[in-house]
């Protein structure tokens, strides 16, 4: 009887592909089939969509409806296709005017209500890139969808509103969903006070390492007994980092939208902080799930901090798998049906006790572990992984004098963050023409080329390599830190003292 086409978006990772939602009305007995590689959730939508259309005052035709999602080779999952399917079917039946290149992205309830879907931001970004600028979404997703430049977003509460906006209700038969009266709501809780460096007693080396890590984007390992302040220091690193630039903020917000952390009304401007428990699985850390995999904690920490407390307690296979994203800044997950690549350029912060009992090398209580137990415990952090960590420091127990001097008396986060911002601005001026954001992203080609310091500066590195205490990768890591030290001091390049200091920050962890 009729044919119609609407548009939706299929997400594979952060990448979206336009999907033509074709509907055909046949002359045979009533039936409703969806073809084109739908997943189980999408295939089960048929009765839901019939009920939604009926309860909105415009039932689907009592004929055979065939819906084709093309390209058929691309997996489609989830309920964000609901609205596009029902509008296409109604258009094919001749009851709704054609909507051209409009994209429909929403789930439908049995009563016709439009419900928000996760991943709306990357889906709208993909639609705009493909030239589809008019997007219809659920009201709860409208603010998030409108974050995409160039998108003309329409947010609706129900299917009847969508159809009426398309000019499908000349006789007034549709039943728009009336908003429920708003009950009184409790006031929103006051935002929690962010952790401040002033709260940390003592730990001068740890505070300096944190400042260097923030200024250059460097990875950090802290080793010390329980209660020495490792976690306190790690939790204060995000506060030292500058706000995300527009492109990074859009990317981070898209990742959190895809993960389903709730509709957003503004871009994520602060660097994220992820701290998974040591029992985390590889799928939870790097991403997984059936069908098209979802982003894991490593990707949710993109452009922010990934903190692994009690690092030796993590499964060795899981923590060793960090080596690939530390080098490439991405996580690729392969499945039989699809492969997804997510960005994962995070700052890794590792915290560890020196041994199972935690007392090795510390003041006070004696270590009860055997040498073999100590080697086995700390040996869970492999040499290749540690070689990728720029800053490695010991965090000793705080003395009574340091504690009595008082937390709250040290330099606050705001003061250190100003120095970090100045150092970031200094390196941005140097690195932007080279395609890098921070010193931690510098590769060997640049460090051995245009950013190679004079030989007089690198003599300590040559000696360390001759002794076998520094690898070729470690050589580059030390140079990165040396450049950051120069940026913190406002110098045009690193000095021999900067190189010595950078080497020192790789020798503080007890063997």
Instruction: Answer yes or no: is 370 within a domain.
Output: yes
Distance of CA 268 to the CA centre of its chain: 10
Helical residues (DSSP H) of 315-370, grouped into ranges? 316-320, 323-328
- Are residues 236 and 343 both part of a single domain? yes
**Could you tell me which residues are beta bridge partners of residue 65?**
25, 32
Classified as helix, coil or strand, 476 is helix
The whole-number pLDDT of residue 189 equals: 55
Sign of CA dihedral 375, 381, 387, 393: negative
- Are residues 216 and 333 both part of a single domain? yes
The whole-number pLDDT of residue 418 equals: 96
The whole-number pLDDT of residue 176 equals: 62
Residues with Cβ within 8 Å of 204's Cβ and at least 6 positions away in sequence, in order, are none
Domain count across the chain: 2
Rounded average pLDDT per 10-residue block, the chain, 511 residues: 91 91 90 88 87 91 92 87 95 91 95 93 96 95 94 94 82 56 50 79 87 96 89 94 94 90 80 95 87 86 96 93 92 80 95 87 78 87 90 84 65 94 93 90 87 88 85 90 95 92 79 47
Q: Are 45 and 82 in contact (CB under 8 A)?
A: yes
- Are residues 103 and 207 both part of a single domain? no
Among residues 308, 218, 303, 199, which one has the least CA distance to residue 501?
Answer: 218
Residues with Cβ within 8 Å of 162's Cβ and at least 6 positions away in sequence, in order, are 83, 87, 104, 114, 136, 156
Buried b (16+ CB within 10 A) or exposed e, 24-41: bbeeeeeebebebbbeee
- Are residues 123 and 202 both part of a single domain? no
- Are residues 106 and 214 both part of a single domain? no
The whole-number pLDDT of residue 182 equals: 47
Q: Are 334 and 293 in contact (CB under 8 A)?
A: no
DSSP 8-state code for residue 76: B
Last residue within a domain, chosen from 165, 183, 215: 165
- Are residues 142 and 241 both part of a single domain? no
Q: CATH number for the domain including 57?
A: 3.30.230.10
The whole-number pLDDT of residue 291 equals: 65
Residue 491: domain span: 197-504
Last residue within a domain, chosen from 110, 145, 165: 165
Region of residue 269 (phi > 0: left; psi between -120 and 50: alpha; otherwise: beta) = alpha
- Are residues 388 and 440 both part of a single domain? yes
- Are residues 110 and 159 both part of a single domain? yes
- Are residues 475 and 419 both part of a single domain? yes
Q: Are 136 and 105 in contact (CB under 8 A)?
A: yes
Q: CATH number for the domain including 212?
A: 3.40.50.300
Last residue within a domain, chosen from 114, 141, 165: 165
- Are residues 334 and 474 both part of a single domain? yes
- Are residues 234 and 349 both part of a single domain? yes
Q: How many CB atoms lie within 10 A of CB 182?
A: 6
Instruction: Answer yes or no: is 186 within a domain.
Output: no
The whole-number pLDDT of residue 186 equals: 46
- Report pTM: 0.88
The whole-number pLDDT of residue 181 equals: 45
The whole-number pLDDT of residue 62 equals: 86
Classified as helix, coil or strand, 19 is strand
The whole-number pLDDT of residue 496 equals: 92
- Are residues 84 and 203 both part of a single domain? no
């Amino acid at each position: 009887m009729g044919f119609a086409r609407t548009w939706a978006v299929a997400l594979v990772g952060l990448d979206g592909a336009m999907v033509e939602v074709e509907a055909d009305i046949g002359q045979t007995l009533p039936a409703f089939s969806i073809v084109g590689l739908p997943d189980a959730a999408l295939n089960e939508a048929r009765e839901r969509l019939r009920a939604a259309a009926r309860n909105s005052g415009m039932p689907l035709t009592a004929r055979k409806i065939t819906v084709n999602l093309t390209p058929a080779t691309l997996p489609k999952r989830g309920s964000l296709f609901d609205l596009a399917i029902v509008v296409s079917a109604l258009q094919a039946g001749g009851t709704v005017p054609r909507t051209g290149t409009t994209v429909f992205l929403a789930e439908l309830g049995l009563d016709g209500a439009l419900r928000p879907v996760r991943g709306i931001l990357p889906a709208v970004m993909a639609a705009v890139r493909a030239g589809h600028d008019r997007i219809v979404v659920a009201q709860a997703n409208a603010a998030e969808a409108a974050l995409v430049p160039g998108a003309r977003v329409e947010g609706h509460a129900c299917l009847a509103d969508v159809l009426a906006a398309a000019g499908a209700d000349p006789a007034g038969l549709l039943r728009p969903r009336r908003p429920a009266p708003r009950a009184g709501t409790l006031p929103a809780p006051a935002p929690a006070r962010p952790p401040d460096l002033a709260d940390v007693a003592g730990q001068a080396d740890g505070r300096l390492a944190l400042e260097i890590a923030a200024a250059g984007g460097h990875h950090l390992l802290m080793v010390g007994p329980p209660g020495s302040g490792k976690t306190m220091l790690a939790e204060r690193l995000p506060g030292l980092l500058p706000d995300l630039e527009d492109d990074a903020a859009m990317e981070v917000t898209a990742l959190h939208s895809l993960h389903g952390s709730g509709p957003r009304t503004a871009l994520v401007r602060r660097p994220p902080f992820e701290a998974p428990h040591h029992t985390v699985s590889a799928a939870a850390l790097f991403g997984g799930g059936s069908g098209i995999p979802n982003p894991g904690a490593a990707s949710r920490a993109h452009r922010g901090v990934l903190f692994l407390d009690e690092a030796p307690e993590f499964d060795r296979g899981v923590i060793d798998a960090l080596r690939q994203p530390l080098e490439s800044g991405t996580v690729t997950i392969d499945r039989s049906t699809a492969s997804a690549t997510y960005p994962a350029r995070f700052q890794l912060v590792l915290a560890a006790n020196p041994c199972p009992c935690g007392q090795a090398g510390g003041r006070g209580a004696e270590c009860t572990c055997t040498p073999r137990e100590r080697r086995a415990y700390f040996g869970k952090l492999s040499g290749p992984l540690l070689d990728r960590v720029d800053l490695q420091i010991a965090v000793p127990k705080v003395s009574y004098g340091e504690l009595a001097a008082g937390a709250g008396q040290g330099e606050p986060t705001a003061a250190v963050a100003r120095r970090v911002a100045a150092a970031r601005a200094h390196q941005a001026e140097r690195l932007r023409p080279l395609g890098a954001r921070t010193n931690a992203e510098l590769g060997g080609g640049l460090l051995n080329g245009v950013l190679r310091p004079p030989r007089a500066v690198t003599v300590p590195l040559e000696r360390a390599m001759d002794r076998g205490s520094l690898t070729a990768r470690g050589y580059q890591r030390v140079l990165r830190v040396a450049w950051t030290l120069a940026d913190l001091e406002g110098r045009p390049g690193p000095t021999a003292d900067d190189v010595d200091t950078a080497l020192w920050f790789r020798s503080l962890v007890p063997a």
